[in-house]
Amino acid sequence: MAKYNTLLYYCYSTIENGEQFAADHLNFCKELGLTGRIIVADEGLNGTVSGTPEACQAYMDAVLADERFAKTDFKVDEVDEPSFVKMHVRYKSEIVHSGLRDPNIIDPKQRTGIHLEPKEFMEMKDRDDVVVLDVRSNYEHSLGKFKNAVTLDIENFRDFPAMINELAKYKDKKILTYCTGGIKCEKASALLLHEGFKNVYQLHGGIIKYGKEAGGKDFEGKCYVFDNRLSVDVNSVNPVVISTCRNCGKTTPKMINCANPECNEHFTQCDECGEAMEGCCSDACKAHPRKRVYDGTGYYVKVPQPVNVTKKARPNLPNKYFLYKSRAAAKTAALLFL
């Protein structure tokens, strides 16, 4: 049995008083002994959390018991150690930063591309009337992407809307969007439909689910993930490495963060250059006085940013059971944590 699990999930669902929810949710996760990073917004939840199998199961049960999040699709990885060091829950304007905040224009709860299960995506992706579109950032698709996928020159997903005009030439095609876990495709596909694209689809569960249910066939390279693993294997059918070392050009699957905290760029670097450059992307970063100690992983723990909300206790319901909608459900949950 695996020592730990890592959960990747999101759910678009309206949350009232999201700031208070974030504060309560942080306490709830700490009660379970979880580590991870969760974004809360009025539009929903987006998270990656890690802990013992028992704690992760209790967390999933609690989330799914809340009618707002009952349809959440959890992707579960077995890991040897927790994928985070600390637990962060932050309240933000969006659960994935896109700049598309007006629900009257883009609302994933109302209209998105057609969801394709991994095997459906695999069957469609190579057809002549199909374009496979990667909606992730440069550093993500440089590490790994689907064979023959269209990639965009963007540094962040918030740059995606500005690329719509470049995609106009594909309007007569079926557009199959994909990302890491599916969350970016919800807004990307919704925007494409809003801009007049007629046949828009999205890979349900993203690359991670595709790897689990379709063997990752034709996904070339590794998949970037937002935790201390930095990347994971996806393809067990026909794997290849496509990324190269920033410094020497040698093929390498290793992704790191620059050791200079004022740079912190995500880039690929082989182990030999990692040692020589001390985990930095350039000589200038290597000489920086605030350079962090490189331990070979290229992952650095961020300073936590607490939710600035004065806690308000809910009457007759302990905070750690706040997800539950009835006393009976809360009582059942309480037994999980004794």
Q: What is the pLDDT of residues 242-297, one digit of tens each?
A: 999 999 999 999 999 999 999 999 999 999 999 999 999 999 999 999 999 999 98
Is 82 a residue whose pLDDT tops 60?
A: yes
Q: What is the pLDDT of residue 334?
A: 38
Catalytic entry in 179, 245, 273, 280: 179
Whether 1 shows a pLDDT value over 60: the answer reads yes
108-126: average pLDDT:
97
In the chain, the DSSP E strands lie at 4-12, 35-41, 44-51, 75-79, 87-91, 114-116, 130-134, 144-146, 174-178, 200-203, 219-221, 223-224, 231-232, 255-257, 266-268
Angle at 186 between CA 70 and CA 62, to 5 degrees: 20
pLDDT of residue 51: 97
Residue 101 pLDDT grade (very low, low, confident, very high; cuts 50, 70, 90)? confident
Q: Are 27 and 47 in contact (CB under 8 A)?
A: no
- Predicted pLDDT at 302: 62
**Rounded to two decimals, what is the model's pTM?**
0.85
179 catalytic residue (yes or no): yes
Q: For residues 262 and 272, what is the distance between their CA atoms, to the nearest angstrom? A: 23
Residue 200 has φ and ψ, to the nearest 5°, of -120, 130
Q: Which helix (H) or strand (E) holds 59?
A: helix 53-65
Mean per-residue pLDDT of the chain: 89
What confidence tens digit (pLDDT) does each residue in 128-137 have? Answer: 999 999 999 9
Say which range, 227-236, 282-291, 293-302, has the weakest mean pLDDT.
293-302
Integer-rounded Cα Rg, in Å, for the chain is 21
The predicted pLDDT at position 27 comes to 98
pLDDT tens, residue by residue, 52-64:
999 999 999 999 9
What pLDDT was estimated at residue 228?
87
Burial class of residue 90, CB neighbours in 10 A (0-12, 13-18, 19+): middle
Could you identify the residue written with the tokens 């009337």?
A: 129
Instruction: Examine the pLDDT at 308 and tell me if it is beyond 50.
Output: no
Euclidean distance between CA atoms 1 and 79, whole angstroms: 10
